[in-house]
Structure 1
């Protein structure tokens, strides 16, 4: 067992505690008919929590952890020890990983897969001991230089084949570990310049690749969701999975809208020029909502800083849309969040997650109260009440024509007057709950 977190006791719900504790997150509390743990379905991200070394574009790593460097299987197993100790302290029900996070790069594809399965053996034991489950697995098709031009969209067919092998191996390990989802993040699936890019060819490659992933899911009997994570840019200048609407159009083009759902990240939504709740609501409306990465950006920096959430009103609006849609199902709240480079101590990592879990608990409880009180849905129904009349519904019937509707408007003599959208009043209502 790891000694990295040895001085930190498992966290308890204690609003009055002086040290590390949950001040708002009580896993057993019933909210909207479920335990809070079952509503939020928290997951710890292996990569930012245990792999990132604190480096940035202008400086090397600031973290010195006993399992660094990530270059031997012994170090990978030491990292797994620390990971599951962290999950135990946080009482986290789930975790998530990339293949690259949990095993060092080998000299061949076969060596990569052997190492991944060796770590999966370790995970199986630790998951049984702790009860921690796998929210999702994924293959890293963006870090190594071979993926500089993408995985599925790469101009080199050998990279396409390497990517297919990596995804197959990781999907099968995810299935073996009882994962709830499998995620594809297209960080390099895009282009830097149209001068050397064949858009149609690359989209066709990407569509066929995703179709084959779905086919293999069914072949091996994996019952989890296949998820795509939208992001508009960074690292690629323009990525094909720009936002929810773009991904939905892509899925429709290849007939995958009933097979693939979306993992939506707060930071990515902001980079795409949207709000987090907009992207969640749109995915719910289109029937492709799956799961979320909960983090935030620094709104002054203009890029994806992956900070832990600390804004209860923002979080409440996100969970409001999730609860309106019926909750997570197989999805959950994954903390795709990382410490700041100056936060070096083990307790910083625990405190960051604990604070984020408290913020999410506050946000979800506020959202549940708004739904129970009909605080927003009542005004929304009133706004569209005119459409509940037989005449209004008839305008949307399949046999209605533009000419018939126009004639009716001209014959009625009605001059419709605008009604207030009451935005400020509704914003005030939200603030009463948070």
Structure 2
């Protein structure tokens, strides 16, 4: 069924860069072919259920600002209204995918069994809607950070009963993701970290987290889930010391616990900034190790220093992110999830559509710029020139030699290096030609 929340908003169409229609795509043309593939198939956009429908407009200093027809969100019938509105929006945007946490889509019950039953009812409702819609499930996940039971972590909790509750919750969410044809399953350890070492056995917590993730992989194979298991790095929020700080930290963790061939990364732009990195850095780290799975696209307010989850609006940042994604071969099961929310003063249904239109257009511009740079080859040529010395027989042989032989060459005057320019400004100017 449809709901009147979006009653006056027509499906969004591509009208080209000269359009002045605020509810039209100016750059995102799903059927446009870029590097031999449709734009929609490159970008694989997903709508985040939590920000678009579950978030009520609060911030650390004030509560709800939005008034939505599916509030209060503690009523089962309202969960169905929320689903009606969500699938209407997916249709309006032509969104190929969506994503959810369990807590976004069902009201919390008085027991796990009651929460489970409510969750199953909504999954039934989703399955019925998806049977007649284009939109598929990019990934599901479990919210194991919001409720007070998770205040000391989920898999890393000092209480084994909380570990058990987490395992049951993830099983429930993995089963639902599998049932709905989800292409990935994500774990973000929102409270997997610590506030103080005075009450923390760090080694034991990491071992429990490693065992938990191995259980996830074991269960994936048991039920025949063909999607990708993803972990999502994030620093400092909300735990002071997150165990999943950034891409490199997560890759090291996965290798330690023998998971490097089973689990990939879901990287978020805002999390990269909080870790002191750029988004392109995190993507490049993951692609260098063959461990990029999917991305959450958003942006932070650079003045606030916090994870503000705004819609992307910076074409150069987005272009460089997609440059590394395209260079590595593009997405397989992953995609571009808009982990982005309206500002708390953006009250209207139209604002929700406009935010996604803007984000999709920015990503389309970034994708086309990235493709143009790759096809032009300027950055690749600059890299090849800079590292050309390592292609010589002498340099290759040096990597198989030892310090004594290298010392002899340098001491004998055979080697006397002179620094060469990194040409950073010229390369930045090159990028600016495309964005």
TM-score bucket of the superposed structures, by smaller chain: over 0.9
Equivalent residue number for residue 386 of structure 1: 389
Could you list the runs of 5+ residues in structure 2 that have no partner in the other structure? none
Structure 1 CA distance, aligned partners of 2:408 and 2:22? 71
Give deviations 1:30-66, integer Å, cap 9, x for gaps. Answer: 0011000000000000000000000011111100000
Could you list the runs of 5+ residues in structure 1 that have no partner in the other structure? none
Structure 2 CA distance, aligned partners of 1:2 and 1:249? 47
Query: Are 1:13 and 2:10 matched, yes or no?
Result: no
Equivalent residue number for residue 424 of structure 1: 425
Query: Are 1:183 and 2:186 matched, yes or no?
Result: yes
Displacement, 1:410? 2.5
Alignment of 1:23-172 (within 5 A): 23-172=26-175
Give the 3-state SS of the residue equivalent to 1:291 in structure 2: strand
Equivalent residue number for residue 337 of structure 1: 340
Give deviations 1:240-281, integer Å, cap 9, x for gaps. Answer: 000011111111110101111000000000000000000000
Equivalent residue number for residue 414 of structure 1: 415
Alignment of 1:231-310 (within 5 A): 231-310=234-313
Displacement, 1:381? 0.4
Structure 1 CA distance, aligned partners of 2:271 and 2:288? 19
Equivalent residue number for residue 324 of structure 2: 321
Displacement, 1:288? 1.1
Give the 3-state SS of the residue equivalent to 1:293 in structure 2: strand
| 2:200 paired residue among 197, 201, 207 | 197
Give the 3-state SS of the residue equivalent to 2:6 in structure 1: coil
Give the 3-state SS of the residue equivalent to 2:399 in structure 1: coil
Q: TM-score, normalised by structure 2?
A: 0.98
Structure 1 CA distance, aligned partners of 2:230 and 2:414? 51
Displacement, 1:303? 0.5
Structure 2 CA distance, aligned partners of 1:273 and 1:329? 28
Displacement, 1:17? 4.5
Structure 2 CA distance, aligned partners of 1:350 and 1:19? 10
Structure 2 CA distance, aligned partners of 1:413 and 1:233? 50
Structure 2 CA distance, aligned partners of 1:192 and 1:3? 45
Displacement, 1:332? 0.4
Q: How many residues are aligned here?
A: 432
Displacement, 1:172? 0.6
Structure 2 CA distance, aligned partners of 1:56 and 1:68? 18
Are the counterparts in 1 of residues 410 and 416 from structure 2 also a CA contact under 8 Å? Answer: no
Structure 2 CA distance, aligned partners of 1:396 and 1:217? 41
Equivalent residue number for residue 230 of structure 1: 233
Give deviations 1:146-192, integer Å, cap 9, x for gaps. Answer: 00001001111111100000000000100010001000011100001
Structure 2 CA distance, aligned partners of 1:168 and 1:430? 45
Equivalent residue number for residue 403 of structure 2: 402
Give the 3-state SS of the residue equivalent to 1:361 in structure 2: helix
Give the 3-state SS of the residue equivalent to 1:433 in structure 2: coil
Structure 2 CA distance, aligned partners of 1:179 and 1:221? 12
Displacement, 1:411? 2.8
Give the 3-state SS of the residue equivalent to 1:129 in structure 2: coil
Runs (4+) off by over 6 Å? none
Displacement, 1:412? 4.4
Structure 1 CA distance, aligned partners of 2:382 and 2:151? 50
Displacement, 1:409? 2.5
Are the counterparts in 1 of residues 22 and 354 from structure 2 also a CA contact under 8 Å? Answer: no
Structure 1 CA distance, aligned partners of 2:312 and 2:21? 22
Structure 2 CA distance, aligned partners of 1:406 and 1:83? 67
Equivalent residue number for residue 3 of structure 1: 4
How well do the aligned residues superpose, as a CA RMSD in angstroms? 0.8
Q: TM-score, normalised by structure 1?
A: 0.98
Structure 2 CA distance, aligned partners of 1:175 and 1:2? 28
Structure 2 CA distance, aligned partners of 1:314 and 1:417? 33
Structure 1 CA distance, aligned partners of 2:280 and 2:350? 31
